[in-house]
Amino acid sequence: MSNARATHLSRRGILAAGGALGLGAVLAACGDDDAKSGGSDKETTAAKSGPWTFKDDRGQTAKTDRTPANIVSFIGVAAALHDYGIESKGVFGPTRLKDGKADVQAGDLDISKVTVIGNEWGQFNIEKYAALSPDVLITTMFDAAGTLWYVPEESKKKILAVGAPSVGISVYDVQLPTPLQRMLELAKSLGADTTSSTITAAKKRFEDAAARLRAATKAKPNIKVLVGSASQDIFYVSGSNLSIDLEYFKGLGVNFVEPAASALKASGGWYENLSWENVDKYGADVIMMDNRTSAIQPADITEGTWKKLPAVKAGQVIARNPEPILSYDKCAPLLEDLAKAIESATKVS
């Protein structure tokens, strides 16, 4: 887990989601007949029929009397479903930057066409949510307890009391192909044509990219990869366990820098905290850096110790999204970029 994620988890009892919000007058459902399904007319019709059920990764079965049309989801989930032709009506989580542009976690989603009910951790406007007449609430889960990601614990009961069932897709301690498949199954249940040429091609690209990464690691097994995230005072070094991408990459042969279990203990196994003075504790040939807006980006790091790292001096730093958008279209480039970095890396550690 990145620094931002673990910081978020520790702040659950501190950040409030608007205090004691009253639901107010819930707007009557207006029927979204223009909801985009991205499929054929037949599939669009199917998406409006019912009943609908989906068993999520908590083992809970969401049920509605028709296939959900008014979908509210975490921004990364909305981006993944968009790639499958399923549109969300409302989103929560990092969606819009201060300049109005879309956050990296929005993928190809047109954020001007969705209602943002919360843009930061702890934000979830229940009145806006209720006004959407939601059919289902969908998000990911980063722990074994099944905590719904970006759904504030302090207002969770009020949110669920609106009446829409919730769906959680686990991204905890499993390899990337598993949640990718689960998201595809969810999209199919919502009306996506998962046999389309676009989706088939994206899945093949992902599989080809995995084969390329495996070949790259086999050809250069000694290239060491460090996974980091930067904040003002701390540099976080991720372990390769628990994260869906890193576990998968390790299975494909990537030689990760691994902090000792004792160093990871304070974060529940996700990462080790280093001061900027000690950022050179581990030798690395390639560095993968958290590209989310919650982290300082490599170009903005001014610490001299960072600039002296051999991998940095060699220009062997690439981006990593610790919360991958779970579509084959968005995950294939993650494999391709890492494969390319290893293929072209010079041994500097």
Of 162, 118, 185, 187, which is closest to residue 23 (Cα–Cα)? 162
Integer Cα distance of 76 and 169 in angstroms: 11
CB 115 within 8 A of CB 144: no
Q: Give the residues across from 62 on adjacent strands.
A: 54
Cα dist from 312 to 199, 285, 301, 324, whole Å: 36, 9, 11, 24
- Count of Cβ atoms closer than 10 Å to residue 300 Cβ: 8
Q: Which two tokens stand for residue 73?
A: 């989801």
- CA dist., res. 20 & res. 82, Å (int): 33
Task: Report the pLDDT value the prediction gives residue 85, as an integer from 0 to 100.
Answer: 97
Which amino acid does the sequence have at 274? L
Say how many C-beta atoms besides its own lie within 10 A of residue 245's C-beta: 23
* pLDDT tens, the chain, 349 aa long: 444 444 444 333 322 222 222 223 222 233 333 333 333 343 443 445 679 999 999 999 999 999 999 999 999 999 999 999 999 999 999 999 999 999 999 999 999 999 999 999 999 999 999 999 999 999 999 999 999 999 999 999 999 999 999 999 999 999 999 999 999 999 999 999 999 999 999 999 999 999 999 999 999 999 999 999 999 999 999 999 999 999 999 999 999 999 999 999 989 999 999 999 999 999 999 999 999 999 999 999 999 999 999 999 999 999 999 999 999 999 999 999 999 999 999 999 9
SS (H, E, C) the chain: CCHHHHHHHHCCCCCCCCCCCCCCCCCCCCCCCCCCCCCCHHHHHHHCCCCEEEECCCCCEEEECCCCCCEEEEHHHHHHHHHCCCCCCEEECCCECCCCCECHHHCCCCHHHCEEEECCCCCCCHHHHHHCCCCEEEEEECCCCCCECCCCHHHHHHHHCCCCCEEEEECCCCCCHHHHHHHHHHHHHCCCCCCCHHHHHHHHHHHHHHHHHHHHHHHCCCCEEEEEEECCCEEEEECCCCCHHHHHHHHCCCEECCCCHHHHHHHCCCEEEEEHHHCCCCCCCEEEEECCCCCECHHHCCCHHHHCCHHHHCCCEEEECCCCCCCHHHHHHHHHHHHHHHHHCCCCC
199, 193 Cβ separation under 8 angstroms:
yes
Cα separation, 255 vs 261, in Å, equals 17
Which pLDDT score, from 0 to 100, does residue 49 have? Answer: 65
Locus of tokens 């005072």: 233
Token couple for 208: 């080809």
State how beta strands 271-275 and 234-238 pair: antiparallel
- pLDDT of res. 48: 52
- Give the amino acid at 2: S
Q: Read off the tokens for 125.
A: 């406007």
pTM of the predicted structure, to 2 decimals: 0.85
Residue corresponding to tokens 């060491």:
224
Give 238-279 pLDDT, tens digit per residue.
999 999 999 999 999 999 999 999 999 989 999 999 999 999
Quick one: pLDDT at residue 41?
40
Find residue 167's DSSP bridge partners.
138
